[in-house]
Amino acid sequence: MSEDLFAGMTETLFEDKSILSEEYRPDVIVERDEEIDAYRTALKDVLFGRNPSNVFIYGKTGVGKTAVTEYILHALRAEVRQRDAADELHVHSRNCNDDTVYRTVRSLINGIRGDHREQFPETGLATSHALETLFEEMDDLSGTFLFVLDEIDHLDDVNTLLYELPRARANGHLTDARVGVIGISNNYTFRSSLSPKVKDTLMEKEIAFSPYDATELRSILEMRAEKALVDDACESSAIKLAAAKAAKDTGSARQAIDLLREGGDIAEEVDSGTITDDHIERAAERVQRGRVKNKLRDQTMHGQLILEAIAALEADGHAPVRSKEIQDAYEQITGSWGHDPLTTLKSIQNHLSDLTMLGFLERSEQNRGRAGGAHYQYELTLDPDVVLETRESIEVES
C-alpha cells in the first residue's frame, strides 16, 4: 500500500519552481529603470581609475535593492575587464544583520584572502588591529575595492567603520588601493543615527527604491510566471489579485512572488489545473502565518517564553497585562518546559521593550498614582494561537 503513496504524483503546474524562490536572481530586471540609471552614474568613476563614490541605497524589503545591486555590479565587472584605464575591481559583500564592526571587517578580510589562505581570527584581537590588517590586504592587491554592506542599519557602531573606511586613503592607511562603500538599508531613519562627518561621506550618492505599485508587481509576476509555470497554469485575474494584495500590504515583490508560489502549491493540493483567485486568497493566509512563525523562531528563548506567557494570559481573557503579571505567568511556563527563568523583573522588562520595538507587542502607558504607580500595559499584536502553536512545535523539535 505505502509503496503507491507517491506513485501518481506529478508536478502539474510548476515548470521550474526555483524561479519563485528567494534566491533566484533574474537576469532581466523590470520596472527599476530609473534606479539602475542612477546607480550606473554613481559608479561610473570606477571605469576611469578614479576613486569610486560611496553609494547609499534605501528602500523596504523586496523592492529590488539587492537584485539591482548584484545586476549592476555584474555589469560593472564585465565592463572593467574591457577597459585599460580601469584598475582591477574587487567586490565584497556582507550582510550586516546583527553584526559588529569587528565581524564585518573580519569578513571583508577573509573575502579578500579567499578560502585558500588562513582566516582572520573570530575573536581575541582589537578592532583597530582588524582594520589595519584590512588595509594591508587591500594595499597588497591594490586596485579598486567596492564593499557592499547590506542591512547596514543593523550594524552597531556604524560610525567608526564608515568613518575609517572611506577616509583610509586620505589618512594614509592606503596608498595603492581605492575604496567605495555601498550601504544598503531598509530604514529611512537610519540617516539620523549617523554622525555628521560620516553622513556627508557615505551619502555622496543616494538612491531610493520606492515600493512597487500593483501595475509594476503585475508585470514582475507575469514575467516570473511565464518561466516558472507551465502554460496557462495561472488565470490572469489570479496574478492581478496577487499583485494587488502585495501592493496594498508591503509593495514587495518577494511577497507577491510568495503569494503566487503558495497559490500554486494550494492549487496542486486540490488538483486544480489552474491557479485561481481563490487559491491566492488562501495563500495569503498561509504566507502571513508563515512569516509570523519565522519571526518568532528568530527570537531568543526568553523572548519567546515571554511572548508565550502573554499569549497564555490573553487566551485566558486577561487583556492588557503589566510586566509583573507577565513575570508570574512567565515563571510558570518556563518551569513547565523545564527551563531556568530569568530572575529579575528588569530582565523581563528588557525583553518586553525589545519585543515592543520589534512589533510583537503593543504597549500603553498607565498611571494609577499611589494606587498603582506609572507602568506599561502590554498586548500581543499577533494571534495568541499562532504564538502558542509555534512555541509548541519549537519545544517538540528540540
Contact positions vs DNA (CB under 7 A)? 98, 100-103, 121-128, 156, 300, 302, 322-324, 342-347, 349-353, 367-376
Q: Smallest distance from the beta carbon of 354 to DNA, in angstroms? A: 10
Helix (H, G, I), strand (E, B) or coil at 1: coil
CA nearest to 95, candidates 84, 86, 104: 104
Question: 155 vs 234, which CB is nearer to DNA?
Answer: 155
**DSSP letter string, 238-296:** HHHHHHHHHHHHT--HHHHHHHHHHHHHHHHHTT-SSB-HHHHHHHHHHHHHHHHHHHH
* 138 contacts: CB under 8 Å, gap ≥ 6: 112, 145, 168, 174, 176, 177, 179
Q: Smallest distance from the beta carbon of 171 to DNA, in angstroms? A: 19
9: its cell numbers = 504524483
Total Cβ atoms within 10 A of residue 326: 24
Question: 39 vs 360, which CB is nearer to DNA?
Answer: 360
Q: Smallest distance from the beta carbon of 322 to DNA, in angstroms? A: 5
| CA–centroid distance for 35 within its chain | 20
Question: 291 vs 339, which CB is nearer to DNA?
Answer: 339
3-state percent helix, strand, coil for the chain, nearest multiple of 5:
55, 15, 30
Does the CA dihedral 6-8-13-16 come out positive or negative?
Answer: positive
Question: 85 vs 371, which CB is nearer to DNA?
Answer: 371
Question: 272 vs 349, which CB is nearer to DNA?
Answer: 349
Burial of 68 (0-12, 13-18, 19+ CB in 10 A): buried
Q: Smallest distance from the beta carbon of 324 to DNA, in angstroms? A: 4
Question: 21 vs 119, which CB is nearer to DNA?
Answer: 119
Q: Smallest distance from the beta carbon of 304 to DNA, in angstroms? A: 11
DSSP annotation of 221 reads H
Contact present, 310 and 324 (Cβ < 8 Å): no
Q: Smallest distance from the beta carbon of 295 to DNA, in angstroms? A: 16
Question: 83 vs 346, which CB is nearer to DNA?
Answer: 346
CA nearest to 244, candidates 255, 235, 234: 255
Distance CA 87, CA 85 (A): 7
Q: Smallest distance from the beta carbon of 124 to DNA, in angstroms? A: 2
Phi, psi of 13 (to 5 degrees): -100, -35
Burial of 203 (0-12, 13-18, 19+ CB in 10 A): middle
Q: Smallest distance from the beta carbon of 390 to DNA, in angstroms? A: 19
Question: 72 vs 158, which CB is nearer to DNA?
Answer: 158
Question: 116 vs 368, which CB is nearer to DNA?
Answer: 368
Question: 266 vs 329, which CB is nearer to DNA?
Answer: 329
Q: What is the CA radius of gyration of the chain?
A: 25
Q: Smallest distance from the beta carbon of 228 to DNA, in angstroms? A: 38
Helix (H, G, I), strand (E, B) or coil at 370: helix
Q: Smallest distance from the beta carbon of 159 to DNA, in angstroms? A: 14
